[in-house]
Amino acid sequence: MYLNSYNLPCVTISMNFTSVMFSGFKEVREEEKSQMVGKVFSNVASNYDLMNDFMSGGLHRLWKDRLVSKLSPFPGMKHLDVAGGTGDVAFRILESVNSIKRRALQDPLNDDLQEETRIYVCDINPNMLDVGKNRALEKGLGEDKSLVWVQGDAEALSFEDNSMDGYTIAFGIRNVTHIEKVLSEAYRVLKRGGRFLCLELSHVDIPVFKELYDFYSFSVIPRLGEIVAGDRESYQYLVESIRRFPPQEKFASMIADAGFQKVEYENLVGGVVAIHSGLKI
């Protein structure tokens, strides 16, 4: 089904890209990291969703469903989805809010609120945003003014203080250069009572499963990337950046340091993916 709508391996790798021997494990200068990430995602944008399906066996859909159900969206919500270029999380939130509306017809005050729902999708990479906008058109949400596509940097958001009810970042935070800045920006834009939710690939500690997961990550995924997207290096970078990202506890303490309370995390698939959440009070 997918193979019909996507072009198979025609992504060209630019000369600059292959000549830079970068790996997620190598010490990369900070100013170079954002450039490299930019190149990676410009290359993968068109095949991003397809590769997600392949790599996770379709599980990423369930993970995102879980993220949105933890968020508990409500009509009239102002939500910010950062690094959400292709719009997966934003579409789910919109669907959830629209269905709640149909359910909660009991409260007459909520009828006007439906129009006030705003979901801002922020991404630093315009290619990813374009893919997202196209998908919105395909879903018939092109005219929906609840969805707002914004290009921006997670470390320096253009939104006002205390303006968002919710903030999500799904599979984006391991790509940023300064995690602390992103966290403090998240804290800044959230209202009192607002929640921060982060879905990210994380560390597995279960003995046998860990070895299997490592094998899968280092041997299977770059190969898949090569075959399906024609881009081995990007997926090599992906796998190694996962290993470099702080483990669950450490990341939770970083979130708490940014000022969030009730910081918790939930491991999915034994720690392959973790959802961290925090509350701003």
Applying CB under 8 A, the residues found at the interface with other proteins are 70-72, 74, 77, 104, 106-107, 109-110, 165-166, 190-195, 261-262, 277, 279, 281
Angstrom CA distances, 69 to 64, 93, 115, 135, 197, stand at: 9, 9, 21, 22, 11
> What is the strand order of the sheet 147-151 is part of?
147-151, 118-123, 78-82, 164-170, 190-201, 273-279, 261-268
Residue 168 counted as an annotated binding residue: no
Residue 86 counted as an annotated binding residue: yes
- Report the nearest approach of other proteins to the CB of residue 264 (Å): 9
Which CB sits closer to other proteins, 6 or 74?
74
Residue 153 counted as an annotated binding residue: yes
- Report the nearest approach of other proteins to the CB of residue 235 (Å): 33
Contact predicate 154/64, CB 8 Å:
no
179-189 vs 248-257: helix axis angle to the nearest 10? 50
Which CB sits closer to other proteins, 108 or 207?
108
Instruction: Fill in the amino acid letter for 263.
Output: V
Which CB sits closer to other proteins, 183 or 239?
183
Residue 97: exposure state from Cβ atoms within 10 A (0-12, 13-18, ≥19): buried
- Report the nearest approach of other proteins to the CB of residue 110 (Å): 8
**What SS3 state is found at 23?**
coil
Which CB sits closer to other proteins, 56 or 163?
163
- Report the nearest approach of other proteins to the CB of residue 67 (Å): 11
Summarize the annotated binding site for S-adenosyl-L-methionine as residue ranges: 86, 123, 153-154
Summarize the annotated binding site as residue ranges: 86, 123, 153-154
